[in-house]
Homo-oligomer: A and B are copies of this chain.
Amino acid sequence: MATENPTPPHALGRQLNFATGRANALCEKWLEPHGLTLPQWVILSCLWREGELTVGQLSELIGTRLPATSRIIDRMVARGLLARKKDKRDGRVMVVKPTAKGNELNHLADFYERVNAALLEGFSAHDQEQAFALLARIEANARAALNKG
């Protein structure tokens, strides 16, 4: 096992994945006692803000492809957390909304604030702004490079 150059290269992709992986692991750990996975909380969080949404709108909002979003919703419907119903304004459109059982978890609506506080522990107000701003620029650059082909 050679160790001539053991230091990992200064790869931003690596650093992004490690930070995001640990942040998601923390969310999963904190949500587990409430019987929720992180993707399930993200869906409920969108619906608590928006009331009801189509699967397509949820897919867009959470940044997950339609089939994966549908599978998460199927599981939440099976667990009685969400229900599918016809949109009031257009009966041909199906929307998803939390059930009474789903809404019992509404005390987790500001869960992300607890996560922010942990991840940004020791950050000055300026560093906090920088973290959001630099990540938004990285995301925009990745989107631009993806669209460039």
**Which of B4, B20, B134 contacts A17, CB < 8 Å?**
B20
Interface of chain A: mostly helix, strand, loop or mixed: helix
Copies of this chain, complex-wide, total 2
Interface presence of A50 (CB below 8 A): yes
Q: How many residues of A contact B (CB 8 A)?
A: 70
**Which of B4, B38, B144 contacts A121, CB < 8 Å?**
B144
Interface residues of A (CB under 8 A from B): 1-6, 8-27, 29, 38, 42, 45-46, 49-54, 57, 61, 63, 87, 89, 95, 110, 112-113, 115-116, 118-123, 127, 130-132, 134-139, 141-146
Q: Could you jot down 24 A-B contacts, CB within 8 Å?
A: A1-B50, A1-B53, A1-B57, A1-B87, A4-B51, A6-B50, A9-B45, A9-B112, A10-B132, A12-B23, A12-B135, A13-B24, A13-B27, A13-B38, A13-B119, A16-B20, A16-B23, A16-B135, A17-B24, A18-B139, A19-B138, A20-B20, A21-B63, A119-B145
